[in-house]
Amino acid sequence: MNTRILAGALATAAMLAFAAPAFADTDLKIFVSSQHQPDVWRKVLDKYEAENPGVKVAIETGGNTSEAQAQYLNTVMSAKDTNLDVLMLDVIRPAQYAAAGWTSAFEGKDMSVYLPAYVEANTVDGKVVALPAFADAMFLYYRKDLLDKYGITPPKTWDELAAAAKKVAEGEKNPDLQGLSFQGKAIEGAVCTFLLPYWSQGKNLVENGKLTFDHDAAVTALSLWKGFVDDGTAKKNIAEVATDDTRKEFQAGSALFAVNWSYAWTHFQGAESAVKGNVGVTRLPALGSGEQASCLGGWEWGVSAYSTHQDEAKKLVEYLSSEDVSVFMAANGSLLPTYADAYKNDEVLKAVPWFADALQVVETAKARPVTPRYNEVSEVIRTTVNAVLAGVTTPEDGASQIEARLKRILR
């Protein structure tokens, strides 16, 4: 009998010994987009784990474009999967996720600390549905060495850019050097491709939830890009080019100008870059006498409504969207901060000096329409841009198609 009791006691003790840490620990899983420095986020999480004993945070990544990641997350969330606690979402998605009931709202959060554009992107019907991870906008990257060689100043208009590209092409006689690389593939970036010159004409796509489509401005915008293909400023297969293709081509030294997000800077300054030290970055050009519009990017942290650790997940997100982390990610991952003060931070400016001028671009960048049906809006615009650049559709027909299809979505 004694041996039985002893065995029982041992078994119970063993179970408790194994069970105890499992009860004490909270395991959180966060989804980070693979193109936004998950390894640098890991360092932030290591610090958080050290300050919060008992909390373990694992990173999950998957898909290499915003669309691929959205498809993955859509599948996970439609299945009401409890596996993911925190999701990093492209700035265009919090509205959709909130409408679907996939994210939990943050109660009583003071949003005034963030840049206004991100307050807007993360607030749906008066509720804070996500908190900003980092800011972003599109910039014009240029080859400083080549512009200096031909005595050209960075262009302020798209016409100046085309003229500069022509001058350099005639001087360099290098068939592998293209004038301008931008996104023509039917991906999310192509939506911004369309909107940049459209916005530059002072037009908006959506105002107060109503479609305010300007047909002539759309034709002008599509014609600008098609013109670049036809006059040789951009290469003939631009309809195949995605965001990271632009980055790679410029990095390999085969483009004079490139339209891209801020993440490209770190790559251009990296060891594998053929253009290291020869890269300039400035505001995107304007169309004629219009404004120099940029496309607002950035990613947000949402807490999954199906997470079984709501409080812990929200606490983590509060930390990840704090000013300290924003500064750290700017200095170590060249991700633009969501706090205005961080753009003047010495640590940041030492690592990425051009961030000093980036605040103005982020503050004036325009947001893509905020709507739960954004995926449909995006699909209409990007496939049409792609078809126009491939020469399948004329700019006039393309503009009419966008208008007709957007009218059905944004009734």
Closest approach of other proteins to the CB of residue 302, in Å: 15
81, 240, 311, 318: which one contacts other proteins (CB under 8 A)?
Answer: 240
CA distance to 168, 287, 297, 339, per residue, from 363 (Å): 32, 20, 11, 11
Does position 340 bind other proteins by CB under 8 A? Answer: no
Closest approach of other proteins to the CB of residue 375, in Å: 5
60, 67, 172, 323: which one contacts other proteins (CB under 8 A)?
Answer: 67
Does position 383 bind other proteins by CB under 8 A? Answer: yes
Does position 75 bind other proteins by CB under 8 A? Answer: yes
Closest approach of other proteins to the CB of residue 96, in Å: 5
Q: Which stretch binds other proteins (CB under 8 A): 11-19, 150-158, 284-292, 383-391?
A: 383-391
Contact 181, 246 (CB under 8 A): yes
Does position 349 bind other proteins by CB under 8 A? Answer: no
Closest approach of other proteins to the CB of residue 377, in Å: 10
152, 239, 316, 358: which one contacts other proteins (CB under 8 A)?
Answer: 239
Does position 123 bind other proteins by CB under 8 A? Answer: no
293, 352, 387, 410: which one contacts other proteins (CB under 8 A)?
Answer: 387
40, 59, 99, 351: which one contacts other proteins (CB under 8 A)?
Answer: 99
Does position 20 bind other proteins by CB under 8 A? Answer: no
390 pairs with which residues across the strands? none
What one-character-per-residue DSSP string does 64-123 give?
A: SSHHHHHHHHHHHHHTT--S-SEEEEETTSHHHHHHTT-BPPBTT--GGGS-HHHHHHHE
Closest approach of other proteins to the CB of residue 379, in Å: 7
124 pairs with which residues across the strands? 127
Contact 351, 266 (CB under 8 A): no
375, 399, 406, 410: which one contacts other proteins (CB under 8 A)?
Answer: 375
| Beta strands, E only, 209-354 | 210-211, 255-260, 279-282, 296-303
Does position 211 bind other proteins by CB under 8 A? Answer: no
| Furthest CA-CA distance within the chain | 98
64, 83, 237, 308: which one contacts other proteins (CB under 8 A)?
Answer: 237
In the shown chain, the binding pattern of residues 170 to 209 toward other proteins, with x for contact by CB under 8 A and - for none, equals ---------------xx-----------------------
Contact 301, 84 (CB under 8 A): no
Q: What long-range pairs does 147-150 form, CB within 8 A, spacing at least 24?
A: 147/256, 147/280
Nearest to residue 182, comparing CAs of 256, 274, 282? 256
Does position 392 bind other proteins by CB under 8 A? Answer: yes
SS3 374: helix
C-beta of 115 vs 124, nearer to other proteins: 124
Contact 171, 188 (CB under 8 A): no
- Report the relative pairing of strands 139-143 and 255-260 from DSSP bridges: antiparallel
Instruction: Compute the distance between CA of residue 370 and CA of residue 204 in angstroms, rounded to an integer.
Output: 12
Does position 233 bind other proteins by CB under 8 A? Answer: no
Q: Which stretch binds other proteins (CB under 8 A): 109-117, 130-138, 287-295, 386-394?
A: 386-394
C-beta of 67 vs 291, nearer to other proteins: 67
61, 71, 82, 400: which one contacts other proteins (CB under 8 A)?
Answer: 71
- Site size for other proteins, by CB under 8 A? 30
Instruction: Compute the distance between CA of residue 363 and CA of residue 343 in angstroms, rounded to an integer.
Output: 12
The DSSP output letter for 335 is P
Counting beta carbons within 10 angstroms of the beta carbon of residue 78, is it exposed (0 to 12), middle (13 to 18) or buried (19 or more)?
Answer: exposed
User: Which residues contact other proteins (rule: CB under 8 A)?
Assistant: 67, 70-71, 74-75, 78, 96, 99-101, 185-186, 236-237, 239-240, 372-373, 375-376, 379, 383-384, 386-387, 389-393
